[in-house]
Structure formats: C-alpha cells, structure tokens
Amino acid sequence: MRVLTCADSGVLVEVADLTEVIALGAALEAAPVPGVADVVPAARTVLLRLTPGADPGAVAAAVREVPLAPAGERAEGETVVLPVVYDGEDLADVAGATGLTPRGVVEAHTAATWTVAFCGFAPGFGYLVCDDERLHVPRRAESRTRVPAGSVALAGEFTGVYPRSSPGGWQLLGRTEEKIWDLHRDPPGLLRPGVRVRFEEVR
Amino acid sequence: MNALEIVATGPLTTVQDTGRFGHAALGVGRSGAADAASYALANRMLANPAGAAALEATLGGLRVRARGPLTVAVTGAEVPLQVDGRGAAMNTVLRLADGAELTMGLPTRGLRTYLAVRGGVAVPPVLGSRSTDVLAGLGPDVPTPGTLLPVGPPPAGFPNVDLAPVPPVGGPETTLRVVPGPREDWFTGDALTTLLTCAYEVTSRSDRVGARLSGPVLERSREGELPSEGMVPGSLQVPPTGEPVLFLADHPVTGGYPVIAVVRSTDLPRAAQARPGTAIRFTL
C-alpha cells in the first residue's frame, strides 16, 4: 500500500490489485475514517475525498491501519441478473481479438460471474471484472460519439453497461432493457461496487 | 409561493448549492458552486442556511423578475447591477418589490456571479443536492427565459449586515498555491519547475468541468497509461498534449491522465473566477 496526497482535498491510496481495491473499499465502508467525505474506488487506487479542514496526514495515518479482510471472509454481495440481446456491432471484432467465435464470446460472457469493482465515467457506470482472461480486449481505436443506453460492452479487463446514451470507446457486445440508473430508485445505481452480476442471453 | 422568474440567462446560468456528497462510489461527482466562497457569502448576507441553493451566472447577463417580494444578494464577479433600471450594489442586501426586475451586465473582471435569494431556490433536490452537474447531466434543468424558480420559506434569522466589504474578485493575473502530486513522479523534474515558473493562460475551452490551460508543455518521464483513478477539484491533470487542465466543480469522478499537482482548496474560488485570457501562476 502506498499513500499519496492530493493537496488538502484528498488521500490517494495505491494498492496491488483490484482485489485489494474491493477489500479496502469494503473496509472503509464498514469502518469509516473520520474526515473522509467520499470514497472513490478505481482500478488500482482508492481515493478518499476529505471534508473541508480535515488533516490529510491524520487520514493517511488512519488508512494505513485499516485491516483488509481476506477475500474469503467478505460477505457475498447481492447478485443481479441482466438479460442481454447479444447483437452488438463489435461482437465480430471481439471474437477476432479473443480468438473465440462470436458464439464463444457470448458463452464466455454469460458463463462468468462478474463483480462490480468500482464506478466512474458517468453516474451508475460500473466497471465489472471476472476471472476469465480470454475476454480482455482493447478499447476501440476510435470511440463512438453516441452509444445507446443499455449497451453491454467490453474494454481492457472490464465489462460495463452504459447507464445512459453517451460517447464511448468500448466494444459493444449487445444490449439490455434493464434500467441501470434510475433516480426514482434508492439507490439509483443497479451496479454498485461489490454487486455480483450474471448476464443471461435472450434471443 | 414566491418565485424568481428568469427573464434572460446570459451565456450560462445554473442552480448551485454546496454540492452532492456521499455518492462518489456510484460515479456521481460533487458539483456545487464553482466559487464556493462567493456563494457562501451571498447566503450569509441573507441569513440563509449554509447550503441554500442560489444562481450561478457565467459572464453575467442574468435578468430575473421577482414574483412576490424578495430579498436577494449578489456576490462574486463584479457586474453592473440594476434594479428596475436603477443602479444597485454588489455584496449588499437588496429588496425586490413584487414585479421588480434585477439585471446583471457583463462582469468587468472575474467570471462567475452569484444571486442568492432569502429562503433559497427551492427546486427539488436530486441525490441530496440542488446543484446542476453539467458533465453528468444531473440535478435541476438549466434555467431558460420563462423558468419560474420557487423560493423557499424565509429562515428564522435576519440579515444583520447591509454590506460585506470584500476584495475584488478576478483580474488579469492570479496566483494559485499548489501541492505537487499525487503523480509528479510521472513527469520529468523540469516539468514541475516549468509549472512553478511559467504563466499559463486560461483558454476559451473552459467550463464548470475544468479550465483548459495553454502554456509550456509538461513532459512525462514515463510511457504507458495510468489506470483511471479518483480526482479531486483543483487537480492539474496532464493529457498527452502536455498542457494541463485545472479541474473545477463538475470534474469527472475518475480520470486516466496523471495529475502533476493539486491547487489548495482555499485557492479554488480564485481558480473558478479566472476567465479565459487570465494568466495563472502556480506557486508552492
């Protein structure tokens, strides 16, 4: 663990991998550190945004003492099942990049149990990870100016679902009708850090 | 219910408060008044509670009509101010009769002017805040001519000053204090020296998300991509062009380019008042 500071506004904790990100995020939720207003987990880091006047040195010292629960001891998060029509424009490109057939991509994507590692990019956009390294693909060389809401996509080690229509550079596999972000729901985001996700093919 | 009727908005007027807290893990940023100090002053003058929502006008041009008698205060970037055609003063408590029209001209210096109303702008909050996040598309709709903004019930306390003496906001040059990091190790040693010795100009491609700066390129010492990480307001993020972006209130929750230094929180209000063309100097 390496602890960096963002002036007097934040403490950025760098950890070894996503497993530690998830563990630290969960630990900070269970036992909040005083002076922390917001916790922002990301790919290799957890940012603690400070309340005005908080001492970054004190928060940095406190976070070093936070015990990371070993993976096995953590409570299972809730599981969300997302029905997906796999007719995405990049399915053939993803097949090419992975060495699988388009059918094989769909099978791998639906067979895996995904976990939301963190959110970012847009409200409710979750970065989901799984153990199947065959599905690691680069982003598209050129991003699209408009990706429709509900698009299910891959990029890097992640899969994600666009909560609303936006520009995007991820490889599109298909689409879901499920509302990923709904302000009339509490919490509004379906894909929150720690939530497990399975994709189910609908034809 | 009393209300503020929007007659004209200038380039951009939004409803803002202290921002949205506790939802960053869902990918929701803080947003809130860009110049938190001027915004807070306007509420204090009216004895409003600290988080009452107000209007943030960008480069002036805001015109409102009082629906019912209202008490207001205007702070931030200094604009020529008129009530029903008569001159009125910034940083004072102004009483608007029912139907009175308040007009802001162009600011002589600075960028963002705040209009607070006693009782606060009472649009429905979204995720605990009445701030419009222009990047995420969250919060109240951006007001347009004809929008009626409801005003909340007056607070228990009464204004106890008529005038707040404040130094002028904005100017052709400003100096902002920074703390290097968290990713200064992604840059050459010269890059930090360059940042701390050269002037950077605020470009016109600036908004509530960030001030895009133009100036000497900050060179990286390493190749490769930084995995996206959480950002704070005041971050000086350096994209591949080498020219930094100074993140403001509506900055993305996470970013994929390294941050060479972060502006101290007490200097953020001044950063938010730097209009295009302003020369910024960074110092430790």
| Chain B residues touching A124 at Cβ < 8 A | 26-27
Alpha-carbon dihedral angle through residues A21, A24, A27, A29, given to the nearest 10 degrees: -60
Note whether B158 contacts A: Cβ–Cβ < 8 A: no
For the segment A99-127, the average pLDDT, to the nearest whole number, is 93
Residues facing residue B279 across a β-bridge: B173, B201
| Better pLDDT: B165 or A45 | A45
State residue A143's pLDDT score: 79
- Residue B129 clears pLDDT 60, i.e. is over it: yes
Could you tell me the two tokens for B234?
């005041």
pLDDT mean across residues, chain A: 91
State residue A186's pLDDT score: 86
**pTM score of the predicted model:** 0.92
- Residue A149 clears pLDDT 70, i.e. is over it: yes
State residue A75's pLDDT score: 57
Counting runs of H as helices and runs of E as strands, what totals does chain B give? 3, 20
- Residue A69 clears pLDDT 70, i.e. is over it: no
Which of B26, B178, B259 lies nearest to residue A123, judging by beta carbons? B26
Note whether B265 contacts A: Cβ–Cβ < 8 A: yes
For the segment B152-158, the average pLDDT, to the nearest whole number, is 94
Residue closest to B244 by CA, chosen among B233, B230, B255, B258: B258
State residue A74's pLDDT score: 53
- Residue A150 clears pLDDT 70, i.e. is over it: yes
Specify the range with the lowest mean pLDDT, choosing from A172-176, B45-49, B92-96, B133-137: B133-137
* A159-169 tens-digit pLDDT: 999 998 888 88
State residue A145's pLDDT score: 87
Distances (CA, A) of B131 to B16, B32, B178: 4, 5, 27
Which of A8, A37, A47 lies nearest to residue B264, judging by beta carbons? A8
- Residue A144 clears pLDDT 80, i.e. is over it: yes
pLDDT mean across residues, chain B: 96
- Candidates A11, A20, A28, A40: best to mutate against B (most CBs of B within 10 A) is A40
For the segment B147-165, the average pLDDT, to the nearest whole number, is 93
Interface predicted TM-score (ipTM): 0.93
State residue B162's pLDDT score: 86
Could you tell me the two tokens for B39?
């915004």
CB contact under 8 A, B25 and A187: no
CB contact under 8 A, B26 and A188: yes
State residue A203's pLDDT score: 86
Phi, psi torsion values for A67, nearest 5 degrees: -75, 135
Q: What is the DSSP secondary structure assignment for residue A157, as one 8-state letter?
A: T
The residues of A whose Cβ lies within 8 A of any Cβ of B are 4-10, 12, 25, 37-47, 49, 52, 118-126, 164, 183, 187-189, 192-193
Could you tell me the two tokens for B44?
């204090």
* B183-194 tens-digit pLDDT: 999 999 999 999
Residue closest to B108 by CA, chosen among B169, B199, B52, B49: B169
Local confidence band at A76 (pLDDT 50, 70, 90 cut-offs): low
Instruction: Compute the distance between CA of residue A114 and CA of residue A123 in angstroms, rounded to an integer.
Output: 19
* B57-106 tens-digit pLDDT: 999 999 999 999 999 999 999 999 999 999 999 999 999 999 999 999 99
For the segment B31-41, the average pLDDT, to the nearest whole number, is 98
State residue A193's pLDDT score: 86
Local confidence band at A59 (pLDDT 50, 70, 90 cut-offs): very high
- Residue B272 clears pLDDT 70, i.e. is over it: yes
* B171-229 tens-digit pLDDT: 999 999 999 999 999 999 999 999 999 999 999 999 999 999 999 999 999 888 788 89
Instruction: Compute the distance between CA of residue B34 and CA of residue B248 in angstroms, rounded to an integer.
Output: 7
Residue closest to B75 by CA, chosen among B48, B85, A9: B48
